Amino acid sequence: MAQSATLRELDADRVEFYTHLLRQMLQIRRFEEKAGEAYAQGKIGGFCHLYIGQEAVAVGALAALREDDYVFTSYREHAHALARGMSARAVMAELYGKADGCSKGMGGSMHLFDRERNFLGGHAIVGSHIPLAAGAGFAAKYRGTDQLAICFFGEAAVNIGAFHETLNMAALWKLPVVFLCENNRYGMGTALERASAVYDIAQRACAYDMASLTADGMDVLAMYDATVQAAQRARDEKLPTLIEARTYRYMGHSMADPIHGHYRTKEELEEQKERDPIANLKARMLEERLLEKEAYERMEHEVAEEIADAMEFSDRSPDPDPATLYDRVYED
């Protein structure tokens, strides 16, 4: 098992790239904060799972992929959509259930899609999308392209049959797939240690003779590096990889769930926030003079404006036409 380097030195030549990663994480953080507010105001309905704390995983991993790769995620996927380049307007409008949403208001928070970006969903049955990603990998191999598929899922999904069936077939058939487990330590309110016989999720790959990596899910560069390795293996060797990203969820399981309480303590939460991916990258860049304080403030300002615009846009966007209720059940 390879361990990705932690806190490697920053490369002054890549300042634009770092800035880009920082900005994406910041955008996601602010987006999720505002989504939480909108949920509290009743503008967003249903289940709404926020990504705050885990930003480094989606941003780092997706930065390592190509535009034509396939992306599958679970239902905690606002961040992946944004990191994939979908506009804050399209994502927020979807959360609002509006016609201008990326899924035309028919999917909601858990079902974000963007065909043009090969962003193939937000899926809300834990583990059910793992074979879907393998299917997209199968299609890439079938067609002889060097595309790959990445699948983001939580650590609670590794106890589901779909995970094992899929990892077995992906290894057996040598499919170009990156299985990225976002281990945020809790499946809803059940700690990993209370649900899994093996705590080290990367080890699960051994059962299928599959390569694996464990990465610091609070470090966007570590996530980027790990995914670059896995993507290379997928493209060059047509082999899958299991990445375990060790990360942490600041919020409750969903907006309807407690942030802490019976299943974890406030102290633990505060301690984990010390590892905050945004604060850390920002601090390092400031320290190494790769970022000016004013530039960061400007970035904060721009992001806030972008999210405010997305919310205003979503407010204005019409509800889907009731006449379309029966549309798109079947494709002609």
Partner 1 sequence: MATITYRDALNHALREEMERDPDVFLMGEEVGVYQGAYKVSRGLLEAFGERRVVDTPIAEYGFAGIGVGAAMAGLRPVIEFMTWNFALLAIDQVVNSAAKMLYMSGGQIPMPLVFRGPGGAALQLAAQHSQAFESWFANVPGLKVAAPATPYDAKGLLKAAIRDNNPVVFLEGEMLYNTKGEVPDEEYVIPLGSADIKREGTDVTLVSHSKTVAVALKAAEQLEAEHGVSAEVIDLRTIRPLDVEAITMSVRKTNRCVIVEEGWPFCGVGAQVVDDIQRDTFDYLDAPVLRVTGADVPMPYNKHLERSAKPSPDKVVQAVQRVAYLD
Interface ranges with partner 1 (CB under 8 A): 70, 72, 101-107, 111, 113-115, 120-121, 123, 125, 128-140, 142-143, 149, 161-162, 165-166, 168-169, 172-173, 327-332
Distance (Å, whole) CA 240 – CA 217: 20
Of residues 119, 102, 114, 106, the one with CA closest to residue 46? 106
Least distance to partner 1 from the beta carbon of 134, Å? Answer: 5
The alpha carbons of the chain give a radius of gyration, in whole angstroms, of: 19
* φ/ψ (deg, to 5) at 59: -70, -45
Nearest CB to partner 1, comparing residues 160 and 269: 160
Distance (Å, whole) CA 202 – CA 155: 10
Sign of CA dihedral 195, 201, 207, 208: positive
Distance (Å, whole) CA 115 – CA 265: 41
Least distance to partner 1 from the beta carbon of 314, Å? Answer: 15
Nearest CB to partner 1, comparing residues 136 and 251: 136
Nearest CB to partner 1, comparing residues 143 and 289: 143
Distance (Å, whole) CA 207 – CA 170: 12
Distance (Å, whole) CA 210 – CA 114: 30
Nearest CB to partner 1, comparing residues 93 and 243: 93
Nearest 5°: CA angle at 184, between 58 and 246? 70
Least distance to partner 1 from the beta carbon of 23, Å? Answer: 27
DSSP one-letter code for 107: S
Residue with tokens 């309110």: 189
Nearest CB to partner 1, comparing residues 166 and 196: 166
Of residues 74, 58, 76, 68, the one with CA closest to residue 21? 58
Least distance to partner 1 from the beta carbon of 22, Å? Answer: 31
Nearest CB to partner 1, comparing residues 108 and 252: 108
Least distance to partner 1 from the beta carbon of 115, Å? Answer: 4
Least distance to partner 1 from the beta carbon of 329, Å? Answer: 5
Least distance to partner 1 from the beta carbon of 162, Å? Answer: 6
The whole-angstrom distance between residue 160's C-alpha and the CA centroid of its chain comes to 20
Nearest CB to partner 1, comparing residues 115 and 289: 115
